[in-house]
Chains A and B, each alone.
Chain A
Amino acid sequence: MRSLPAFRFVLAALAGLGAWSAGLSGLLSATTALAEPAELSDLNLEQLMGMQITSASKKSQKLSDVAAAVHVITQEDIRRSGVTSIPEALRLAPGIQVARIDANKWAISARGFNGRFANKLLVLMDGRSVYTPTFAGVYWEVQDTVLEDIDRIEVIRGPGATVWGANAVNGVINIITKQAGKTRGGEISVGAGSQERAFGSARYGFELSDDTHARVYFKGFDRERFPVRDAADRGSSDAWNMQRGGFRLDHDGKAGERFTLQGDLYTGSLRQSIDLAQLSAPYSLHVHDTANVSGANLLGRWQKALGLGEEVSLQVYYDRNVRNEVFLNETRDTFDIDFQHHLGVGERQDLIWGLGYRYSHDNFSNPTFVQFGNGARGVHLFSGFLQDEISLVPEKLKLTLGTKLEHNDFTGFEIQPSLRLAWTPNSHHALWGAVSRAVRTPSRSDDAANTHLLVLPPLSGVNPTGFPIAVSPVHNKAMNAETLLGFELGYRFIPSSSLSLDTALFYNDYDRLRTISFGPVLLRRSANGLYIDQTLPFSNIESARSYGGEASLVWNPLSNWSLQAQYSYLGLETTFSDRQFANNINLDEISTPQQQWSLRSGWDLPQHLELDLWLRYVDRIQAGIPAPLRINDYLTLDARLGWRPHPSLDLALVGQNLLDGAHPEFIMESGYQQHTVVEVPRAFFLKLNWRF
């Protein structure tokens, strides 16, 4: 094992060196390409018709004048990375922290505050919010679809609350599937491997009329457990399987009116090892549990063009999620309706405004370990927004002003304005800046949940008293919304269609962050007798400031070779208005890597072969409670060899996490994972795609 770090370094250095030296010639050709458009227009029609483009020149880089840190993960990125899930695909975006907790749990955030219950990242699938108000965050393991049917994943780092609303504090992720008309015919994908024991999906797209297309799909997988580093428990498992099916129907008569109807159904079974505190001996239960999850959703969207630059849209969806775990049984039903109107005002202004309403009803029916004061509750969310895009100098300087106004049942009215300015002097440079406010509204757990984080046994080393001492986070009905005032600056540079650089800097000022505070110590009686209760009420006593930046470089040195390099840096400091916490370690400061970088190479080789290499580095962190564990930095490599022996057939051999046998990435912050460290292992799988 000792030779590994040195070996890794050599490999990383070689990879870097190789990329740059081989790329030098490409850089030269890239700069000469600056003059290319003018030359092309000088050619006559016959000469132009004799030219041929390649798949690489179809996806050449165009300058974006969006005044936000946006990165788009394309279908091609997903395919060539070899990832098998949406959360893993998010590693393709710069500045997104993706850490695997175990085989079926992820911690994902942008610009810090990462955790299983990371609550500052808003996630939508085809316009449907998958952010759960239960704990404020995303159950990543149930967010899935046929990966081949994803059109793109838009990743916005930084606040997006003016348009997207509360909880879009550190970022917004939009997972967008292809229109049904773009998925005609069948596609069957099957595969098997070491961690991906077996997986398969089948999709069929068909034409209902000239203007109406539909597709149906089914998908299922069975995934192996991850290795567990636990002296006491070697039999635990986090293996899981899921089955899902769905459809999408699109009608587009090209006459300024279109609608979409789509829905999904899923069910899954996820094994997990959970540590739970209880008031009787042995005070800490180590449970092998199977979480059963299921859900369904149905969404309709209608759009109508009222004029050249004017349209309205109406979207309605229903979403149901059921989770039955040893510590919580939860059923949540959500109904959402959203209206938007976009119109041009004069020659200089683009106005967009909208109104929305959401009703979310939950039912928590297993109060053994987590008690909700009111086990069933429906909450209402009313929202409205207005945004004006003003072209100060046409095509050159654009000012975007807007605000969202929301009313939620926990904190009442919340206002989330933003101001953005983008300057594009020409089509090679874009400079933008933004100031925005965003809020994270209290979750149902913040408002109503009580639990015991741990129970110290009586007459033990840490507890000399004769009673068990419970350490108990308790709800707080007076929770405020967390607030962010964010400052951003970005610069994009596209010297040619084969080279582009996208950078962003940020400074975030957070206030009223949720944390736990020291509450009263009480002597209480339970069914097991008297116990001492150290209460830890949720409170808004934490403030933080974070700063950092992300850079992303895309470069196609040759028409058959593309390179992507990404780097991100994050600094975060917290302070507490309550003195008692001044000397404590704060997970928010240590559970997000300071630096991440990645280098991805995609080669199109002769004989219809593709070779993709993806090197990733993630800085060290500390995670888990009550005593955070140190998780070392890691460098890892994924590789994919693809072969298309026939236009309708794809084969791919994928190796993941090739540089070590296994490495840990995260430990849950809930206290449910006290004794175990789960590691992400090296994995291989073979995949076949057949289109008909």
Chain B
Amino acid sequence: MAAFSLTITKKRILAALGAWLLLSGSAGPGQPAPDAGALQLAFLYNFTKFVEWPASSLANRSEFELCILGDDPFGAALDALNSRTVRDKPVQISRPRSAAALQRCHVLYVSQSEGWRLRQILQEIGTAPILTVSNLEDFAELGGTIRQFWDDDRPRFEINMAVAQKSRLTLSSKLLELAARVIRE
């Protein structure tokens, strides 16, 4: 019967396929790579160690406010940050929905979803002492402070120093050394 011989051929093919799969499956890299969103957030947190805010921005504030605009990629990693401190102040994560709320941020992460109104957001911030961070292309050129990006799947960042100075943020030389690019004017 044609059907019978077909079954045999199929069995053979699948057996060969299965064997190859098992062999090749074990040949691949086994260590899970770090989660991209968690890694970005770790960078965001680390940046705060190399940045000095003007005293006025931290005085009279019981919390260090980390703001997020739009759909962030951080996921569960955000939970862990809630228990940390920056400049001896507990980190508070907030999602500002008004221009007034925006002014209270110390760090502002702008998500991909907000790219279409980036100029508006940056205009709203003006020269307020807010460390702005984003993955958006042209972020640093358009007036953001730090842009994160992936170079061959390795995390890199670039800095717009002119914007940092106008915002009265002092960035350590160490941070500037590690940056892939620094825009000075």
Contact = CB atoms under 8 A, between A and B. Distances in A.
A44 B46 contact: yes
Given A51-B154, A54-B29, A55-B153, 4 more contacts: A4-B3, A33-B32, A40-B34, A46-B178
Nearest to B13: A658
Contacts of B87: none
Interface string A34-46: 1011101101111
Interface stretch (B57-65, B78-86, B161-169): B78-86
23 contacts: A7-B11, A36-B34, A37-B78, A41-B46, A45-B178, A48-B43, A49-B178, A52-B152, A253-B119, A254-B117, A254-B118, A254-B142, A256-B120, A308-B98, A308-B102, A308-B124, A347-B97, A427-B75, A427-B78, A559-B31, A559-B32, A560-B28, A606-B24
A327 interface: no
Contacts of A603: 21, 24-25, 28
Interface residues of A, number: 71
Given A256-B120, A258-B116, A40 B42 contact: yes
A45 B36 contact: no
Contacts, number: 199
A58 interface: yes
A270 interface: no
A305 B123 CA distance: 13
A522 interface: no
A255 B39 contact: no
Interface in B1-48: 1, 3-4, 6-7, 10-11, 14, 17-18, 21-22, 24-25, 27-39, 41-43, 45-46
B121 interface: yes
- Which of A1, A41, A639 has most chain B Cβ within 10 Å? A41
Contacts of A45: 43, 46, 50, 174-175, 178
B68 to A, nearest CB: 11
A11 B10 CA distance: 11
A661 B33 contact: no
A463 interface: no
B6 A661 contact: yes
The 4 closest A-B pairs by CB, nearest first: A37-B77, A256-B117, A40-B42, A560-B28
B98 A309 contact: yes
B96 interface: yes
A497 B120 contact: no
A61 interface: yes
B155 A49 contact: yes
A309 B69 CA distance: 9
Contacts of B37: 60, 62, 497
Interface string B107-127: 000000001111111001000
Contact of A344 (B98, B138, B150, B153): B98
Contact of B153 (A18, A54, A253): A54
A70 interface: no
A513 interface: no
B181 to A, nearest CB: 14
Contact of A60 (B3, B36, B42, B138): B36
B97 A49 contact: no
A283 B1 CA distance: 41
Contacts of B30: 558-559
A153 B116 CA distance: 22
B154 A52 contact: yes
B73 interface: yes
Contacts of A58: 36
A29 B156 CA distance: 27
A208 interface: no
B76 interface: yes
A561 B42 CA distance: 25
Given A37-B41, A53-B39, A497-B38, A305 B28 contact: no
A407 B28 CA distance: 59
A36 B77 CA distance: 8
A605 interface: yes
B75 A62 contact: yes
B99 interface: yes
A16 B175 CA distance: 50
Contacts of B36: 53, 57-58, 60
Given A36-B35, A49-B156, A52-B154, A658 B10 contact: yes
A633 interface: no
B3 A53 contact: no
Contact of B4 (A3, A46, A561): A3
B101 interface: yes
A658 B96 CA distance: 53
Contacts of A22: 25
A253 B116 CA distance: 7
A303 interface: yes
Contacts of B10: 7, 658
A29 B31 CA distance: 9
A308 B116 contact: no
Interface residues of B, number: 68
A36 B24 contact: no
A497 B121 contact: no
A333 B48 CA distance: 58
Contacts of A41: 41-42, 45-46, 80-81, 84
A351 to B, nearest CB: 12
Contacts of B76: 34, 37, 62-63, 426-428, 494, 496-497
B32 A498 contact: yes
Contact of A54 (B3, B14, B33, B124): B33
B75 A61 contact: yes
- Which of A22, A40, A305, A639 has most chain B Cβ within 10 Å? A40
A611 interface: yes
A61 B138 CA distance: 27
Interface in A588-608: 603-606
A307 interface: yes
A24 interface: no
A252 interface: yes
B124 to A, nearest CB: 7
A376 interface: no
A56 interface: yes
Contact of B32 (A29, A40, A494, A639): A29
Contacts of B174: 45
A36 B101 CA distance: 31
A10 to B, nearest CB: 10
B75 to A, nearest CB: 4
A256 B7 contact: no
A48 B42 contact: yes
Contacts of B1: 1
Contacts of A52: 33, 152-154
Interface string A534-568: 00000000000000000000001011110000000
A428 B78 CA distance: 11
A287 to B, nearest CB: 33
- Which of B14, B46, B69, B76 has most chain A Cβ within 10 Å? B76
A62 B73 contact: yes
B79 A426 contact: yes
B25 A51 contact: no
Nearest to B1: A1
Contact of B42 (A37, A57, A63): A37
- Which of A4, A497, A604 has most chain B Cβ within 10 Å? A497
A254 B115 contact: yes
Interface in A47-88: 48-58, 60-63
Contact of B154 (A3, A40, A49, A56): A49
A406 to B, nearest CB: 30
Interface in B85-104: 96-99, 101-102
Contacts of A48: 39, 42-43, 46, 155
